[in-house]
Structure formats: structure tokens, C-alpha cells
Structure 1
Amino acid sequence: MSSDWISISKKVQYKENTNVLEVKSGNYTYSFRSEQVPFKKIVMLNASLIGYISELDAENLIVGVSSPEYIYSEKIQNLIKEGKIQYVGNEQKYDVEKIISLKPDAIFTNHVASFDNTYELLRNNGIQVIFLDEYLEQKPLEKTGYIKLFGKLLGKDKEAEAKYHEIEKNYNSLKQLAAKSSVKPIVLANEMYGDIWYLPGGKTSLANYISDANAHYILKDNNDEKAVTMSFEEVFAKSSQVQYWVNAGSHTSKKEMENVNQFYNKLEVFKKGKVYGVAHKVKQNANDFYESGVVRCDLVLQDYIKIFHPELLTDKQFTYMSELK
């Protein structure tokens, strides 16, 4: 066994020795003995991590989930209906007794500081709590790379490696395809909440997608890995040349957007350009863009290329995006 750390991203690495699998995730380190992994029973506390489980066909390992209304996967919804997956609370409060009674080998969750006492309680009952903050990853393929760690922990190494390489190959060939276009449209993203517009910083995953899709994002020179806040006036001043507006929430029409904010119709792109939301795969509160889209960066990139360079992908349908009329 190799004793070197294998790096998925700056935030996540793992290392295998003869009988121990070590994992580093953010500020946390875990050490699993060979008799502890692969896990047979897991609890998922975040819909955004579920995409990895689905991609590995490992849904049958899940014994509990929180906030099932945010889970898009039909397979998981059916397992919940059949009582094979239990409801263990929501982001306000987890049902600790229920979780303990399910005797999971591990819980996967994003780290939420206000739940530290709950995590401690679960650990004291011999349950592994594994923090994976995939939403902090800004390079699409590194976010996809978490599937390799899930493969190690769930005994699906080969499937995970194969999936990752397939997605990586698709992503890179799509990126090369986009680069062939001599047109580089100007792009605006996200929407307003109240009177503040939250634009993705220039180093966020959305900015990376737009760049890989060979388009020019209006904040591409910004260095933030998080959202940048602007007033409508600031965005208005920057967006006179914008041709495409993407990730305009999960609205279904321009009319609906205008009802939320009448300022939008002052923007040239709203009047004359094209506006796209991420509502193509939505069931009530669940949006597959935030579930399978976390893993399938190739399909997300394909959608952006189809928006900015439709002539390059005439044979493809949208997976997550839809145009607002």
C-alpha cells in the first residue's frame, strides 16, 4: 500500500496504509481501521452530498437523511416511502436519539458550528461524524473528485475511479470544444435578494464554469472565492454589454422575476438578451442542480456551452438550465 497522501483538493486528502485509511478534510483528520471500512450504514445530513452516493449506486447504504424535501433522487425518495431510509430531523434540529438508534457506521455532513454539541453527542455514542465541505471547492473537477473519497469509504473504489475519469474526460473535451468558438459573450450571474445583488466572485466555481465555457464573466478579474455584494446601480453600470444572464435563480419566467424585482427590466440583457435559470430539474423544494450537478460538472459545463455557443452542441438537451421567456 502506498503511504503517500493522495490529494483530491487543497482541502481533502487521504492516505492508505496496510490496515488504516486516513482522511484529512479541512481542519479535521480521521483514521479508520480496516475492520471499520467500508461503511455499511450511513446517515446523510446534506442533500448536496447525496449526488456522490447516487452516482456510485450506493443509495441502499443510507439508513437516515435530514430534510428529505430537498432531496431530488427518486430512488432515495422511494426508499424513504418504503421505510428503508428514516427521517432524522432538519437543519434546525437533528433527532439524535433516532440517529443513535439506527446505529450508523458514519454520518456525512457539512460542518455547521452551531451543531458542535450534537456532533459531540453522536461521537460519544461511537458514531463517526465526517465533515465534507464540498461547497467550498471552487474548481469543478476537484468538487467531482470527492467521489473518489466516497469510493474508498463505501467499498466502491473501482466504480468511483471509473466515474471520475469519465466525467474528467467529458469535461476536458467539452472545454476544448468551447475554445474553438471565436465568439466570447459577456455574462452576468445570480440575482438580487432584497436590494443586494450577490455576484459570484471571480474565483468561484461559477466563474470557472463560465471561463471554461469560453465566455467573459463581468467579474472575472475579481479574486474572491465567495459572493461579492453589489447594489443594483453598480451591476447596472457594469452590464450594458451583457448578452447572457445565467443562474438567475429557479424562476420559471421573466414575468415572475419582474414580480420579485421590477428593477430587472431596466437591464439591457433582461430586455434584449437571454436569461437562464437553473430550474430544469426541480421537484417542489428539491433541485437536482444542487445534487447530481455537484458531481456531474461535465453536464453543468455542457449546459453553459449550449447557452453561450449553441451552434457547438445542437444535438444536446439542457440538463439543469432553462431559458426564461
Structure 2
Amino acid sequence: MNRWWRRAAVLIGFVVVLVTSACSTATPVAERAGAAAAGCISDFDPAADYFPVKSRIEHATNFSLRYERSYQVLTVNQPYPGGAPESYVLLTCGAPAPQLPPDLAGAPMIETPVRSLYSESTTQLSLIVDLGTLDVLTGVGNPDFVSGAEVRTRIADGSVARFAENQQLNTEQVITADPDVLLSQGTDNPAFPTLRNAGIPVIGWAEYLDSGPLAKAEWIKAMAALTGQEERAAAVFGEIESRYREITATAAAAPAVPVVLGNLYQGTWSVPAGGSTTGTLVRDAGGTYSEAGNSAAGSVQRDFETVYATDGAAAVWLVTTQWTSMADVTAADPRYAELAAVKSGQVWNANKRLGPTGGNEFYERGVTHPDEVLADLIAILHPDLLPGHEFVYFQRLGS
């Protein structure tokens, strides 16, 4: 029985009334209000291909798309660290439920284009904005982390609800709201089985487990599969990819500038490996550092003394912290004053665009617009290559 025929769930401490009605395999999957909306099939033809525009995945490796006549199969290879692959059947609204192969027998079925979407991660928000489908966004885990003006406007006018507090998902609220789909933040959650049992599909959204700036940005094509905006996604991503390559070329012949990356957190300094997204961005911007040759995708844990010995003489320090001045730097740890970049005042922080409640657009839009981040980095390391550059995310810390 399809979730669109019921309102149901088993919740801790309360009961939601289950409403059912008879259905048959010949009945279209969705008979909700608005089933005849744009993107829906009004006269189903089993021989027709309902995907005239198909996305091609060229960089991302943590998700894939497969096309059938009236549905797509979205597979997330690792929905959370260590998680097994999960597949989702994305059925064009108005089409009857298909006969699925055995490997998809237990896959959730999601009617597309979705009309109501709950988002746990702010990295998903810029994709929705870029696709021009902001009206489908009806819930955000914690609106305080949101920085983008478009989404904040919808939060302010009540169009987007909060559904999590202190990382605790409000299961009752989500089931009552009954969104078409909930996108996770790339972690597992004990509330997810309850939501799925209530007929609310949960997609394990984990673009951060993809390695490389363009791989993360290409998740716009996964969002397009949910919203029916494949053509627009191809255009948006094409512009990002083209600009990224164009900007990279400007720094290709420039001498590499030594940098320091990261900072201490609870006594440990995480240095991004060369194969990580940060490592790739720094390399493409014409920078180098001690772990630049490390092809791993994660980070290397070090202490201050090791970082000082390997990267302490670097001319530039790139951080992502709450620091707003050089005084904040040395207040955090007096040893920072020994770094060459601190002595010369070349400490750059990716906190230029903060939302009114503390959200940082670097972690929101910056993840899916690496061309903007790359341009900032080149302007920092090789200012002569991008004269007059207006910084988007980074700013130099003042005294």
C-alpha cells in the first residue's frame, strides 16, 4: 500500500490515526491534490520514455542515476560513513506503480517531481535555489544554520518549518507535516525507521563523502531528479564546471605558494590531505603545503609542534573559524603568534558571509559553488592574477 493512501505512523508516546483506502495496481500511484501539476503524466503510455533529458554523472562517485521509461533509480553508494548502498525509485507522477526487478523490491518509491521536501543539511539548500524550485522546501532541520537570503525569507514568512532541535529530529512533527521526502545530512538517525514505516521516504544525502570540489557540486543532478529539473541542472553545473576550469588555468603556471591549513581543536590540528576537497582547491589555486602529496581524501591529525615544523614558515594561513581579528587568533592559543603568516598578518578566514543567526554561507553555498571558493583562494595566493577580485567567502583578519 502506498504512502499517498495513508497517514500513519507508530510514534513514541502517541498514536497517529491510520487512514486507508482500497487501491489496485492499475491505479496511478498519486491521486493527491495537484496530481495534474506540471511534470505529471496525464495519459500514461507504457511505451513512452518520460525522460527526454537525462543527467550524466561525470565527477560524483557517491551517487548514480539509472533511467527507465517512467521512473529513475537514484542510488547513494554510502548514505552515511560505513553505510550500505541505498536505492530509491523516483516515479513520475501520474504513472502506475511499475513492476520492479528483484534488486529494487524493497526500495522506497518517491513520486516526482516532489512537492514538499524536508532538508537536514544546509548544503542542499543552494541546490534547490539554483534549480528555481524553492517552493518545494517546506522544512529545514535547524533554520539557525541557514544563511542564504532566499531560504531565510521563506523561514521568516512561515513557509519553512524547523523540525530538529539540538540535533534531535522531531518525529511527530515530521509525520504530521507528511513531506514527500526527507533528505538526511549524511548521518544515520534512529528516527529514520519510524519515518519510513510512516510512509515518509528518507534519502541518505551524503555529498560530503564524495571527494573533489566538482564531485560535490554535481549533486545538483540528484536534486534535479527529485524536482524534475534535469535540463536546468545541466546548465547550472556546466557553468560552475566551466568557470572552475577557466579559473584553475589562470594559476596553472604560477609558482606554488606555501600555506598553512586548519587550526587546533581540542589540542589536535587536522591537516587536510592532498586528495581531499580542500587539498584539491588549494592545489588548483596554486598553493602547496606539507600534505599536498598525500592522495588520501581525509585529513591527518597532528599537534602544534609538528605543524609548526612542517608548515610554520608558510606565508599564508587559511582557516575556517569564528575568529574576526588577529587578537582572536593569539587569544585562542599564544603559540599561533610564532607562525610566519600571523607575524605578517596573512591570516584569511572563510567567514565573510554570515547569516543573522550565525549560519556561514561558506558551508552552505560554498560547497556547491567551488568556482567561487577557488577564485577567492587564487586572489589570496596570487592577487595579481585576479585584479579587482571581490571576495565571496574569505576575508583577511584585521588587527
In the TM superposition, what are the counterparts of 1:98-177 in structure 2 within 5 Å?
A: 98-113=173-188, 115=189, 117-177=190-250
Aligned-pair distance for 1:197?
0.8
1:264 paired to 2:336: yes
Partner of 1:196: 268
Instruction: Report the Cα distance in structure 2 between the residues aligned to 1:171 and 1:29, rounded to whole angstroms.
Output: 31
Q: Secondary structure at the match of 1:282?
A: coil
Q: Which protein is bigger by CA-based radius of gyration?
A: 2
Two-structure CA RMSD over aligned residues (Å): 1.8
Partner of 2:91: 33
CA contact (8 A) 2:251 2:385 kept: yes
Instruction: Report the Cα distance in structure 2 between the residues aligned to 1:307 and 1:5, rounded to whole angstroms.
Output: 35
Cα distance per residue 1:178-234 (max 9 Å; x no partner)? 1132x2111111111122111112211010001111221221122331221101000
Q: Secondary structure at the match of 1:197?
A: strand
1:222 paired to 2:294: yes
Instruction: Report the Cα distance in structure 1 between the residues aligned to 2:320 and 2:91, rounded to whole angstroms.
Output: 46
Partner of 1:81: 156
In the TM superposition, what are the counterparts of 1:54-69 in structure 2 within 5 Å?
A: 54-69=129-144
2:284 maps to a residue whose letter is D
Equivalent residue pairs, number: 322
Cα distance per residue 1:259-313 (max 9 Å; x no partner)? 1111100112211261110111012420000001011111010000000110011
Q: Secondary structure at the match of 1:286?
A: coil
User: Relative to structure 2, which stretch is displaced further, 249-258 or 305-314?
Assistant: 249-258
In the TM superposition, what are the counterparts of 1:15-54 in structure 2 within 5 Å?
A: 15-26=66-77, 27-35=85-93, 36-54=111-129
Partner of 2:306: 234
Task: Determine what percentage of the aligned residue pairs are the same residue.
Answer: 25
Instruction: Report the Cα distance in structure 2 between the residues aligned to 1:273 and 1:213, rounded to whole angstroms.
Output: 20
CA contact (8 A) 2:65 2:74 kept: yes
Seen in structure 2, the aligned counterparts of structure 1 residues 111 and 180 have a Cα distance that, compared at 3 Å, is closer
Unaligned 5+ segments in structure 1 are: none
User: Relative to structure 2, which stretch is displaced further, 276-285 or 303-312?
Assistant: 276-285
Instruction: Report the Cα distance in structure 2 between the residues aligned to 1:212 and 1:145, rounded to whole angstroms.
Output: 18
1:33 maps to a residue whose letter is L
1:299 paired to 2:372: yes
Cα distance per residue 1:76-113 (max 9 Å; x no partner)? 12212211111111353111111111121111112323
Corresponding residue to 2:389 among 289, 310, 316: 316
Q: Secondary structure at the match of 2:348?
A: strand
Instruction: Report the Cα distance in structure 2 between the residues aligned to 1:188 and 1:24, rounded to whole angstroms.
Output: 37
User: Relative to structure 2, which stretch is displaced further, 285-294 or 26-35?
Assistant: 26-35
Partner of 1:280: 352
Instruction: Report the Cα distance in structure 1 between the residues aligned to 2:55 and 2:152, rounded to whole angstroms.
Output: 36
Moved over 3 A (4+): 4-8
Corresponding residue to 1:252 among 324, 345, 356: 324
Q: Secondary structure at the match of 1:312?
A: coil
Given the two structures, how large is their TM-score scaled by the length of structure 2?
A: 0.77
